[in-house]
Chain A
Amino acid sequence: MKRRSFSALMAGVAFAATLSGAAFAQDKPTMGVVVKIGGIPWFNAMEMGIKEKGAELGVDASMIGPTSADPALQVRAIEDLIAKGVDVIGVVPNDEAALEPVLEKARAAGIKVVSHEGPGINNVDWNFEMASAQGFGETHAELLAQKMGGKGEYAVFVGSLTVPLHNAWADAAIAYLGEKYPDMTLIGERYGVAENVDDSRKTALDLMAANAGLGGFLAFGSQGPIGAGRAIEEQRKTGSVHVIGPFSPGQGRDLVKSGAISGGFMWNPAEAGRVFVTMGKMLMDGTEITEGTDIPGLGVVSPDAANKDIITNNLIAINAETVDGLADLGL
């Protein structure tokens, strides 16, 4: 019994020693941002942005990344933030509906709430988006049209037919091309393969074999451009068939440089992190956000006050020139 208590005591002392360093800085306003999952490059970059802007604006801002993308863990993290008494809570929701009760609790406790990638969420002061579904789809479509010279056949990949966001991008892109570039024709329906490299590669090979006139792939889903790019490299069709879509710069670096992937767009998670802190500071200071307010990182915004959404298009291009810089961020 004694030995057990003693060892436990030692372990506890060791904890306290390692962790007590974090318990200072009480005068500064505090902010906690709960993201979908911790330890992945996207949110590591976001954390960097949060820390950087926090230091700049004098806000004690930190990010909490749950160990798995489970809404239950986000709810727990937010409850702990409420208990901690932070001034602002930021959240990138895994599941909008599951967070409503706990965010309501946070706001009842006088905490300001900012969300990102949660356009349908109600219990927030503001939700901001770095890209609208429509803008994201159309920007990619425009790039494809330019690469293909405004004519020819193209195919569309999405992550899966049940991913709402990918399909919204695809809808916008197809509608845009149909309207502005009548000489471009979509072949087949959209293919739900773009979360898997091998499926994307095989589907791209099959489609190129079956359609001699195929000039481009529009791939929404992180692995789609990679798979399609590999297929084009194998078939030595670099330059005659174009692959456009958002992908991880680190993973697609070589394919972009060889030209097998023509390019794509993404938004910068580090910038989103900075915007979290900027907006949190604005809310704490009571700065009104209205039509024409200039928010650093988002630009001049036109907020949708009824839905508490601020939707902007702050896309950055991934191409042979920018890919190294983005990949070096770990993205």
Chain B
Amino acid sequence: MIDRMKRAFGPEVPGLLGFLMLVVVIFGVTAPNFLTGANLGSIAFQLPELGILTLAMLIPIISGGFNLAIIYTANMAGLTLAFVLMQFGGVEAGIGPFLLGIVLALGVGALSGAAMGAVIAYVGAHPILVSLAMMIFLRGLGEFLTKGGDISGFPPYLATLGHGSVLGIPVPLILFGLCAVAWHVLLTRTRHGFAARMIGSNLKAAAYSGVHAKRTLVLIYTLSGVMCAIAGILMLSRFNSVRVGHGEALLLVTVLACFLGGVDPFGGFGRVVPVVIALVVLQVLSSGLNLLGANQHLSTAVWGLFLVGVMILRWGAGRWKERQRGRG
């Protein structure tokens, strides 16, 4: 069964699942309220925004790149939606303007992603530089447009998106689930996903084998931008306000989640399912430590230790496998 799981979702899955179970058991014993509906609900509500941002980071990393602009792209998309809602009366805005705002927000996300992708593909600049430039540009633009303040006061139905539940499942979690499935299918079942992985492995070889590398790169960053926009809309509905700086602290956590989930930092390899499990582990660790009343800096340190530990274990596992092969 483990072999089947490995084949379907990636070799990281059983190990991460085991670790997740272990963490749950430990906190279940030590933290009194850990295994309660309230806490699981809290985890389920907190996971999605980080999760969707991580998905936005995932595809560029798989293609051998990086997207530092995810947070600001998300907030620019959120601001776009907020501007539209404000134009139509703020709290009184109907469902029509909301849909229009969503479309425009996704458009803004796609546009900023496409711009990055185009520069990376056609100018050949390094993705870290390009996305850093985009991040600074978007932050500046956002602060200029909002004068550093926030926009708040949205129609009440937005709260359903951020805090509501359907059949007991939080709406943000459903949204995250849909996004994750879409990304999984995109990466494993489509030509584009295949091309993205090939580019990440070796850009030149991929181009010589007939992959339209440049177009693929533009598409990768465009999709990343769209995913950012979804995260931005979710953050807007969760906080009932938008500001360019919301969620800044999550940027590096998304990178952490990708690497924990076994994504190759040099590109080419990575799957959605282990990344999702890694996200759950991070959130469970963070919520569990909070329940125990641990210092927040300690939980950050634990995340860091966790990443270092996983890397060492992976190295060890790799050596072990090689030796087995040598013997056989």
Contact = CB atoms under 8 A, between A and B. Distances in A.
A84 B243 contact: no
A217 to B, nearest CB: 26
A9 interface: yes
Contacts of A20: 29-30, 292
A16 B26 contact: yes
Interface of B: 2, 14-15, 18-19, 22-23, 26, 29-33, 36, 38-39, 41-43, 45-46, 49, 147-148, 150, 152-153, 159, 162-163, 235, 238-241, 243, 245-250, 286-287, 289-297, 300, 302, 305-306, 309, 313, 316-317, 320
Contacts of A62: 293
30 contacts: A8-B22, A11-B309, A12-B26, A15-B302, A19-B30, A22-B292, A22-B294, A23-B30, A32-B293, A38-B296, A62-B293, A65-B296, A67-B296, A70-B245, A70-B248, A70-B250, A71-B243, A71-B245, A72-B246, A76-B46, A80-B46, A80-B287, A83-B42, A84-B290, A85-B33, A95-B150, A95-B246, A97-B239, A98-B150, A101-B239
Interface in A22-59: 22-23, 26, 32, 38-39
B158 to A, nearest CB: 9
Given A16-B29, A65-B296, A68-B248, A75 B238 contact: yes
A1 B247 contact: no
Leading 6 A-B pairs by shortest Cβ distance? A97-B152, A83-B42, A97-B241, A80-B290, A83-B39, A98-B239
Contacts of B38: 82-83, 85, 109
Nearest to A9: B22
B310 to A, nearest CB: 9
B154 to A, nearest CB: 10
Most A CB contacts (10 A, CB to CB) among B33, B296, B300 go to: B296
Contact of A3 (B19, B45, B313): B313
A273 to B, nearest CB: 16
Nearest to A99: B239
Given A22-B292, A38-B295, A66-B249, 9 more contacts: A1-B15, A12-B26, A20-B29, A70-B246, A79-B46, A82-B42, A83-B287, A97-B150, A101-B239
Contacts, number: 160
Nearest to B14: A1
Interface of A: 1, 3-5, 7-9, 11-13, 15-16, 19-20, 22-23, 26, 32, 38-39, 62, 64-68, 70-73, 75-77, 79-85, 95, 97-102, 105, 109, 162
Contacts of A99: 239
B291 A38 contact: no
B41 A83 contact: yes
A23 B290 contact: no
Contacts of B286: 76, 80
A176 to B, nearest CB: 27
Nearest to A5: B18
A162 B162 CA distance: 30
Given A65-B296, A97-B240, A23 B31 contact: yes
Nearest to B290: A80
A39 B152 contact: no
